[in-house]
Structure 1
Amino acid sequence: MHDYGADSTATRNRAVQFVEAFGGPEVLRLGEVPAPQVGTGQIRVRVTAAGLNPMDWFMTSDADTAARFGLSLPAGFGTDYAGVVDQVGDGVTEFSVGDRVFGGALSRAVADYVVIDPAGTIAVGGAAHRTPDGVDDRTAAALTIAGSTAAAALAVVHPGPDDTLLIGGAGGGVGVFAVQLARLAGARVIGTGSAASGDNLRALGAEPVTYGPGLVDRVRGLAPDGITAAIDLHGTETMEAARELGVPDERITIITAQVEGITSANGADAAPGAIEEIARLVGAGQLRVPIAAHFPVEEIRAAVELQAGRHVHGKVVIDL
């Protein structure tokens, strides 16, 4: 990555956009658009890295889905970002030019510059947090959506030292956070994944189990005394297995579906300070963020194709 520093006079602004239609990576375009300027209460961030998440390509997959998220053409792409503050608007006291920050800006993060309202939310105005010492920008750009979602899911089931927690999709972007945070809370973790993901899951602290038919029997073999809680990060298979294994609904959560009796988890519901604590743990070396691949912004289509394949172990990051 380049060190661009803070240059409030810069006007060149590359941005990845959907211009003529929503759809897959084949319709993404990298072009130049006017650089946004701060207003009262806002900061501008010179983005150095942007992390990709499944929600990025899901919510822009077609016009109807995009409309449900309040998006219209032309629309940007990507939500997680990290960089340095290069403009500060009137009334802002918590950030200064030159501060390293990370956060989320819904479907507009893959651009040279993004304007953030520090009092806003990821969906409205954006969110910004200080990047701790010891956390590089690629890693910081991988934290917000996945980390917040993992924190929200763990808050539903409250794992502790007496728990054996089953996590479905444990090797994905959210899973790498959920596994490690549950282990830090003292829980035993069994994580589902492909047959090839075993070493990656063990490195995170999980005991791997392959997903698919026979999951219940395989989990029983690993945990003959039973499991006590479950987090399903991919579909409903893990949730269904947990119910069959006798886990009460109140100790099961899911992030990709709505199921009667099951509390769903959403990153927007993460407790105040949750993402800052995750960043602190990363900076302290207590939580590892695997970066599976990073691409220059010119290769955005290849990056999205890799991430959308759902078989990458860790995060995919765009360098700007």
Structure 2
Amino acid sequence: MRAMAYETYGGTEVLTETRLPMPKVGPGEVLVRVKCAAVNPVDWKIMAGGLDPLMDVMYPVVPGWDVAGTVERAGIDAPEYAVGDEVISYARKDYVHGGTFAEFVSVPVRMLAPKPARLGWQEAAGLPLAGLTAYQLLTRLGTGKQDTVLIHGAAGGVGSFGVQIARVLGARVIGTASGRNHERLRAMGCEPVEYGEGLTGRVRALAPDGVTVVADFVGGVLDVTQAVLAPGGRHASIADPGVLGEGGQWMWVRPIGTDLAELGRLADSGQLTVPIERTFPLSELAAAFELSQTGRAAGKIIIEL
């Protein structure tokens, strides 16, 4: 099968288009024919060695954890899915090796969910990792109608899902973003504030009694979180372990198919949209990574096969 892979840590120069054997399909797994896969910052951070202390690597590495495609073959004891089923997955395995930037990927059924009918292949591929990150953080904090939520990085890939999901949960949402993204956030039902110097005062002007939930999707903002959090408030971060010493939770997304199915339900009901920045062919994965590295993408970056 065609795949993009690398044999050593490094920048985009280590990526090469290659031919690899078809993935093995173990018990409780299915083989997915990839239609589209989404780029996430974690993909190129792993490639640079950023997660070496946490995860074992088996070379050659095919990067990528987000996928939308069709079931090509079901393994032993995988009755939940049949050949031809349209599926999506956050296909993160226990070690770094066989990812989604390839023609085929094997995926445990516990990580799969049906593809939302309302979404195209590109949008469906952009939903899993970022959507699950936002959903799991907000639900773990018990976000609901009684809450005013501050989202750090509200215009980013995870933050934009966070805004939409917090609104579905009934919360009032304040979100930090640069001015060029404020109109887009208002359309989602968010009250945007400019990040940078004076942020604490701007948030306090909107929520004089403080916010009850803070979702940090960027890191480096713990001082602001502490300054605006109401007594008894809850907060969590995906980027700053320092929250653990300040009563918060440090989270990383889990590949849970039932959670992903709930996101699919929200998408099919029109309550969750997936903005797309740009689509690349598989052979241009390096360029897609470089666009992601700029931090300026206003939507998901998609690899289409």
Q: Do they fold alike, i.e. is TM over 0.5?
A: yes
User: Secondary structure at the residue paired with 1:236?
Assistant: coil
User: How far, CA to CA, are the matches of 1:231 and 1:222 in structure 2?
Assistant: 17
Q: Quick check: 1:282 aligned with 2:277?
A: no
Q: Offset at 1:202?
A: 1.6
Q: Quick check: 1:212 aligned with 2:196?
A: yes
User: Secondary structure at the residue paired with 1:129?
Assistant: strand
User: How far, CA to CA, are the matches of 1:246 and 1:41 in structure 2?
Assistant: 44
Partner residue in 2 for 1:264? 250
TM-score w.r.t. length of structure 2: 0.91
Segment drifting more, 298-307 vs 24-33: 24-33
User: How far, CA to CA, are the matches of 1:227 and 1:139 in structure 2?
Assistant: 32
User: How far, CA to CA, are the matches of 1:265 and 1:181 in structure 2?
Assistant: 17
Q: Offset at 1:225?
A: 3.9
> Deviation string for 1:126-165 (max 9, x for gaps)?
x221113222221111121111111121023322223221
User: How far, CA to CA, are the matches of 1:318 and 1:66 in structure 2?
Assistant: 25
Q: 1:313 aligns with which of 250, 273, 298?
A: 298
Q: Offset at 1:248?
A: 4.4
Segment drifting more, 299-308 vs 199-208: 199-208
User: How far, CA to CA, are the matches of 2:129 and 2:261 in structure 1?
Assistant: 12
> Deviation string for 1:3-46 (max 9, x for gaps)?
xxxxxxxxxx1111112x21222221121212224344331111
8 Å contact from structure 1 (residues 59, 69) kept in 2: no
Aligned length: 297
Partner residue in 2 for 1:122? none
User: Secondary structure at the residue paired with 2:267?
Assistant: helix
Q: 1:190 aligns with which of 166, 174, 191?
A: 174
Q: For 2:214, give the aligned amino acid.
A: A
Q: Quick check: 1:83 aligned with 2:77?
A: no
User: How far, CA to CA, are the matches of 1:90 and 1:68 in structure 2?
Assistant: 30
Partner residue in 1 for 2:214? 230
User: Secondary structure at the residue paired with 1:174?
Assistant: helix
8 Å contact from structure 2 (residues 113, 258) kept in 1: no
> Deviation string for 1:233-292 (max 9, x for gaps)?
00131x32121124347511111121212112221186x722111111112211111112
1:52-71 paired onto structure 2 within 5 Å: 52-62=39-49, 65-66=51-52, 68-71=54-57
- In structure 1, the gaps of 5 or more residues are 1-12, 120-126
User: Secondary structure at the residue paired with 1:224?
Assistant: coil
Partner residue in 2 for 1:109? 100
Q: Measured at CA, do residues 60 and 249 of structure 1 come closer, stay the same or move farther in structure 2, by a change above 3 Å? A: farther
> Deviation string for 1:113-132 (max 9, x for gaps)?
0112224xxxxxxx221113
User: How far, CA to CA, are the matches of 1:301 and 1:136 in structure 2?
Assistant: 24
Partner residue in 1 for 2:117? 133
1:119-130 paired onto structure 2 within 5 Å: 119=110, 127-130=111-114
8 Å contact from structure 1 (residues 156, 265) kept in 2: no
8 Å contact from structure 2 (residues 36, 304) kept in 1: yes
Q: Quick check: 1:255 aligned with 2:238?
A: yes
User: How far, CA to CA, are the matches of 2:131 and 2:188 in structure 1?
Assistant: 15
User: How far, CA to CA, are the matches of 2:173 and 2:198 in structure 1?
Assistant: 19
Partner residue in 2 for 1:5? none
Q: Offset at 1:86?
A: 1.1
Partner residue in 1 for 2:153? 169
Q: Measured at CA, do residues 193 and 242 of structure 1 come closer, stay the same or move farther in structure 2, by a change above 3 Å? A: same
User: Secondary structure at the residue paired with 1:294?
Assistant: strand
* Greater share of residues in strand: 2
Partner residue in 2 for 1:18? 6
Q: Measured at CA, do residues 205 and 34 of structure 1 come closer, stay the same or move farther in structure 2, by a change above 3 Å? A: same
8 Å contact from structure 1 (residues 236, 254) kept in 2: no
User: Secondary structure at the residue paired with 1:170?
Assistant: coil
- In structure 2, the gaps of 5 or more residues are none
User: How far, CA to CA, are the matches of 1:97 and 1:265 in structure 2?
Assistant: 35
8 Å contact from structure 2 (residues 4, 283) kept in 1: no
Q: Root-mean-square deviation (CA), in Å? A: 1.9
TM-score w.r.t. length of structure 1: 0.87
User: How far, CA to CA, are the matches of 2:230 and 2:220 in structure 1?
Assistant: 14
Segment drifting more, 80-89 vs 103-112: 103-112
Q: 2:223 aligns with which of 230, 240, 244?
A: 240
User: How far, CA to CA, are the matches of 1:128 and 1:159 in structure 2?
Assistant: 25
> Deviation string for 1:192-236 (max 9, x for gaps)?
111211122122221111111111011122333432221110013
User: How far, CA to CA, are the matches of 1:134 and 1:153 in structure 2?
Assistant: 25
